[in-house]
Amino acid sequence: MTLPSTDTRVSYPDGDTVSTGTVLHVEPLADGRSAVVLDRTAFHPVDTAWPDQPADRGRMRWGAAEAQIVGGVTGGIHDGELLLGRELPVRMGTPEWTFVVGHVIEGEAPEVGAEVEVSVDEGYRHALSAGHTGCHLASLALDAALAEAWTKAVSTDALGAPGFDAAAIQTSRIEEFGSTDVYRIGKSLRKKGFDVTALDDLDAVAARANAALAAWVASGASVRIERDGDAISARRTWVCALPDQEARIPCGGTHLAGLDAVEAITVALEATDVEGGRELRMRTTISLRG
């Protein structure tokens, strides 16, 4: 059994939701499931190392057969071994690994060499794309809202503000028309020069972030994904042409094509005490026009 030696070519960064590909490998999984690896796909899998955007939903058809795709994971091939999902020990793009999309299906699987059509649930994808675009903008708005809270120089974000998001993020979860980001406010953040009293009046922080978001939404800025190639491991960048400056953030997910379709993006902030510090939770909601 020969495993693929080239990365899966992916078209979801361009917004595609339908693709035709050839089966390169079928990996048996527990519970009668299998992971189907194709040469190309429009199906967005959840990334193992940074699982922010969930996998698409969709179906796979070949000949007279079809199957629901119940999951999508990233996989890596190294030394003749395929490691899928949580087993994958390296980040996407690590040299000398081949990276693939594993389409998880139940029951009968197509054979190696079969031609397969993949169709992605467009409504769900659209809702996640909206959530992901809102998430990026909310992180920039939060950084701007906390820009005065730093007493030392810290790495800056895509708009030149001190990077609170990058310094404190623990988890980021994209949802349908929203996202939830969790930040850790502890000793290491204080050492980097973050004044935690900036979070005493969270309503004021949220108001500043929401004002920035409202201005960006009103600009109707275009959004695009730039990429070095169509391999899943190729470097991709989210680019949003905001009025004052183009924001560029490395990103493997899917997005809206622009903010002209957006009615509003708002954030709500909540802090809780945890051992050794506090946890800040930002819930972002994005609504579309019409």
Q: Is residue 47 classed as helix, strand or coil in its secondary structure?
A: coil
As measured in angstroms, the least distance from the Cβ of 271 to Zn ion is: 24
51 contributes a contact to Zn ion by CB under 5 A: no
C-beta separation of 55 from 176 below 8 A: no
Torsion of CA 229, 105, 5, 10, to 10 degrees: -10
| Integer CA distances (angstroms), 79 to 3, 82, 217, in order | 10, 9, 48
Stretch that binds Zn ion, among 5-13, 154-162, 245-253, 280-288 (CB under 5 A): 245-253
When the beta carbons of 163 and 253 are compared against Zn ion, the nearer one is 253
Per-residue contact track with Zn ion, 136 to 165, x per CB under 5 A?
------------------------------
CA neighbours closer than 13 Å in the CB half-sphere of residue 101: 30
CB of 78 to Zn ion, least distance (A): 26
Angle subtended by helix axes 202-219 and 122-145, to nearest 10:
120
Measured between alpha carbons, how far is residue 183 from residues 141, 199, 268 in Å?
A: 15, 12, 13
Ranges within 98-137 binding Zn ion (CB under 5 A): none
Shortest distance in whole angstroms from residue 138 CB to Zn ion: 11
Helices (H) and strands (E) in the chain, counts: 4, 16
Q: Residue 43 or 150: which CB sits closer to Zn ion?
A: 43
In the complex, minimum distance from the CB of residue 133 to Zn ion, in angstroms, rounded to a whole number: 9
Least distance from C-beta 94 to Zn ion, angstroms? 19
Closest approach of Cβ 238 to Zn ion, in Å?
6
Q: What is the DSSP string of 237-252?
A: EEEEE-SS-EEEEE--
Q: Does 251 bind Zn ion (CB under 5 A)?
A: yes
Using CB under 5 A, which residues numbered 4 to 43 contact Zn ion? none
The answer to the question of residue 58 lying near Zn ion (CB under 5 A) is no
Stretch that binds Zn ion, among 12-20, 26-34, 101-109, 246-254 (CB under 5 A): 246-254
Q: Which is nearer to Zn ion, 25 or 255 (CB)?
A: 255
Tell the residue number behind the tokens 């979860």, with chain if given: 173
Measured from the CB atom, is 19 or 53 closer to Zn ion?
A: 53
Bridge partners, 185 (sequence order): 278
Selected from 253, 259, 262, 269, the binder of Zn ion by CB under 5 A is 253
Give DSSP secondary structure letters for 147-167: GGGBSS---B-TTSSB-HHHH
Binding segment (CB under 5 A) for Zn ion, from list 25-33, 177-185, 194-202, 253-261: 253-261
Binding site for Zn ion (CB under 5 A): 251, 253
